[in-house]
Structure 1
């Protein structure tokens, strides 16, 4: 099985289009088609469904993609390792959960690219569980979690900063004139929250159960920006990491109300697999990230 053919296959899967894949790879389109045909003949399966101008992976193609990404990543690492130079170059794949990708990731990438513009960055998003699996499968080099402190025996995890979680309302909410709010007052409120697979949503639910509080309603959304828009529209209150609403609070679009209980903390954490070979690029990324967070 030729590495070039696997690279072509992976690129077609990513772009969903033979023409776009040929542009990314710098091949003529017939060459891309030939690479896929060779793979399909070699494996005796069909890898793509071709519908109109869009191609999608078959079940067999989805299985091959898992192995292809691992093989390609290992081949890149082998080249870096055998080349035996200290140049910060090549590609780094970063995983992050949605919360971190919204509030912290842009700044992390900006600072790194400014210092190392020759490095190619690939981003993958998912739940904490999903990102952990990608670290295990070596499809992600480094991952960020914005959640309660996590611990996995196969990962090296460092806490970079504590992120306070705050109660947020619109400036027109009845609580707006209050100096504080008690968790028991959520009983008669509409609560806008992330979906249940979010770890700090689990923290909030545990806190409500412990206080024996049942909000009037829950509005579940798997998107922080949408949650903020709903709260700004006066459709309820929310609880989010403060870093995710700092801009809206500064612009008086949202209002933070202190609560009488101890605030729930979450943590920005960086992780990589304990058996991962740390290339000069990955080491530089880790060092740059630690340095940036020390300045917060």
Structure 2
């Protein structure tokens, strides 16, 4: 096998399409197909299952993927070691929870791309919760993951805490609980709650704070934006990251109820066990250290990332 074959395998596995992989790599479709066939011949295993809507990794391809990722990363690290002053190159797939993708990562990606324009970044958003992201990290589907976890954080993968993530229990302004004092656990257990997924960390935090069975089953909406729309429509209340509802609280579309969950949530960066020493990951990790200082400052106090020491 050679690097071109591994590049083709990586691109097809990421895009699920020969056509999209060819466009990503700047090759013809026939060239990508030939590289995949040659690689399958070299490893004596069928790596992709051809389907009407594209291609999908076979079980053998799933097993081969983390090794291919490590080989490609090692190749890129070797080139960088021989030319340490040269700009960083390579590829990196970032997995992130929906709220981090929407409200925290755009500035990180913008500054990283400005500093390292030759690095090809891919972003994969997860709605299901940190466990799914950790599984993707172990499989090699993503190189680094950014997620919210209940403190003291995840187990099973190397993780570093970035910052606390304040939560807000929100409701429409005319909700009965909006006019009262602090919401009691009993009141909340008897109120319709709206959630992203049963496995998402916000519902996990809510369940941990409400011992016993909720008298009213929650409604699941799949995304934070859908949950916010449902809350505004009067369907119930929701526990969400405060950053996701800042604008709605400012305009009065939503109100924050006086209630604190019994657990705390923070953002964490997760790394695969075999990725120590990667220059790309070190560069991103360093940038996160700088940008995270801004996350909980008032907007007027924010300092451009380029000016941070």
TM-score band w.r.t. shorter chain: 0.7 to 0.9
CA offsets 1:194-242 (integer angstroms, 9 cap, x no match): 3232233222112111xx5633221123421221121111111111121
After the TM superposition, which residues 126-137 of structure 1 pair with which residues of structure 2 at under 5 Å, given as runs? Answer: 126=126, 127-136=129-138
Shift of 1:146: 1.5
| Other-structure match for 1:163 | 165
The answer (yes or no) to whether the contact 1:187–1:215 under 8 Å persists in 2 is yes
After the TM superposition, which residues 229-240 of structure 1 pair with which residues of structure 2 at under 5 Å, given as runs? Answer: 229-240=229-240
Find the aligned partners of 1:274 and 1:24 in 2 and give their Cα distance.
28
Shift of 1:180: 3.2
Range with greater deviation from structure 2 (86-95 or 282-291): 86-95
**Whose RCO is larger (CA < 8 A, sep 6+)?**
1
Taking a change above 3 Å as real, the CA distance of residues 270 and 18 of structure 1, as seen in their structure-2 partners, is closer
The answer (yes or no) to whether the contact 1:90–1:120 under 8 Å persists in 2 is yes
The answer (yes or no) to whether the contact 2:103–2:243 under 8 Å persists in 1 is yes
Secondary structure of 1:294 counterpart: helix
CA offsets 1:159-201 (integer angstroms, 9 cap, x no match): 3322222210112322333353222212431111232322332
| Other-structure match for 2:216 | 216
Q: Which runs of 4+ in 1 moved over 6 A?
A: none
Find the aligned partners of 1:228 and 1:199 in 2 and give their Cα distance.
16
| Other-structure match for 2:303 | none
Find the aligned partners of 1:98 and 1:88 in 2 and give their Cα distance.
28
What CA RMSD, in Å, does the superposition of the two structures yield over aligned residues? 2.9
Aligned residues: 292
**Contiguous gaps of at least 5 residues in structure 2:** 298-309
Secondary structure of 1:216 counterpart: coil
The answer on 1:14 being equivalent to 2:14 is yes
The alignment's TM-score, normalised by the length of structure 2, stands at 0.80
Secondary structure of 2:112 counterpart: helix
The answer (yes or no) to whether the contact 1:186–1:213 under 8 Å persists in 2 is no
| Other-structure match for 1:294 | 293
Taking a change above 3 Å as real, the CA distance of residues 179 and 152 of structure 1, as seen in their structure-2 partners, is same
The alignment's TM-score, normalised by the length of structure 1, stands at 0.83
Taking a change above 3 Å as real, the CA distance of residues 21 and 262 of structure 1, as seen in their structure-2 partners, is closer
| Other-structure match for 2:68 | 68
Secondary structure of 1:175 counterpart: helix
Range with greater deviation from structure 2 (269-278 or 162-171): 269-278
Find the aligned partners of 2:122 and 2:218 in 1 and give their Cα distance.
35
Find the aligned partners of 2:291 and 2:175 in 1 and give their Cα distance.
36
| Other-structure match for 2:145 | 143
Secondary structure of 1:278 counterpart: coil
